[in-house]
Amino acid sequence: MCTAALVAFGLLATAWSAAATIVPLGAADNFAVLGGSTVTNTGATIVTGDLGVSPGTAVTGFGPGVVLNGSIHMNDAIAMQAHADAATAYGQLVGETFTTDLSGQNLGSMILTPGVYHFATTAQLSGILTLDTAGDPNAVFHFQIGTTLTTDPSSIITFLNGTSANVFWQVGTSATIGVDSVFSGTVVADQSITVNSGATINGRVIAINGAVTLDTDTTTVPAVPEPSTWFAGVLALALVGFTECRRIGKFPATA
C-alpha cells in the first residue's frame, strides 16, 4: 500500500508540474477571436466569447454572424490590453525549449503525449491528430511553427484520457483552418488567420498583426476541463494510501 501511494504521488507530481507551463493570456483569455488589423466574417458564424480587434478598428459581418456570452471590442481599452497580453504570450511560446522536433512531418495519424513540439517551417494536419493528456487537465501541448499552419478539410483534433485547456499553436506567419475541420487549441499567429466554412474551433484564434477571416464557422473559448476518471482515481489512491501509511507508522508525522 505504501509503495503504491508513493508511486501515485509521483504520477501526480509529474502531471501537476505541467501547470507551471500554462501560458497566461491575461486580458486575451476571454477572447474567442482577436484580430490585429481587422476581423471579417461571411455567413452565420457563431463566436462564443469576446471578439475584438486592436490596433485596427474594423469588425465586419456581425450580423449575420453572432457573438454569444461576450462582447465586440474595437480597439477599446479591453482590446488593446488583450492585444498586448497576446503578444506577450506569443513571445513566451516562441522562447520555450522544445521536446520534440516534428519538422517535415504531417500531424495526421499521430498520437502525441504532452510536450513542446517544433516545426522549423510549415506544419500540416491531414486526417486525425490525437492528444493523450494522460488524465491531466493542464497537459502541455505547445506547437512552435516557423511559418504556416494548415489543416486539411475535415481534419480532426481529438483527445484521449480527458481534455486539456493548455493547447497552444504559435504560428510564425499565418494559419488556415480547413473546411469542415474540428480544431482544438489557441492559435496565436504573428500575421493572419483564416477559418474556412464549417470549421469548429474549441479554442481561440488570435492574429497579432494581421486579419482574422471567418466564414460560417464556430469558435468557442475552451472551458477549464475536469480531471479524467484516471486522474481522479490516482488521486484517491494516493490519499487513501498516504493516510493508511501514516496510521501504521510507515511515514513519519510532520510537525
pLDDT band at 19 (very low <50, low <70, confident <90, very high): very low
Q: How far apart are CA 187 and CA 170, in angstroms?
A: 6
Q: How far apart are CA 108 and CA 126, in angstroms?
A: 5
pLDDT of residue 61 exceeding 70 = yes
Query: What is the structure's pLDDT at 222?
Result: 87
pLDDT of residue 116 exceeding 90 = yes
**Once rounded to an integer, what is the mean pLDDT over residues 215-222?**
96
Does the model's pTM come out above 0.85?
no
**Once rounded to an integer, what is the mean pLDDT over residues 31-40?**
98
Asked whether the beta carbons of 130 and 114 are under 8 A apart, the reply is no
Percent of the chain with pLDDT over 90: 77
- Local structure of 219: helix, strand or coil: strand
Give the chain's mean pLDDT. 86
Question: Nearest to residue 15, comparing CAs of 185, 201, 238?
Answer: 238
pLDDT band at 18 (very low <50, low <70, confident <90, very high): very low
Residue 17 DSSP label: G
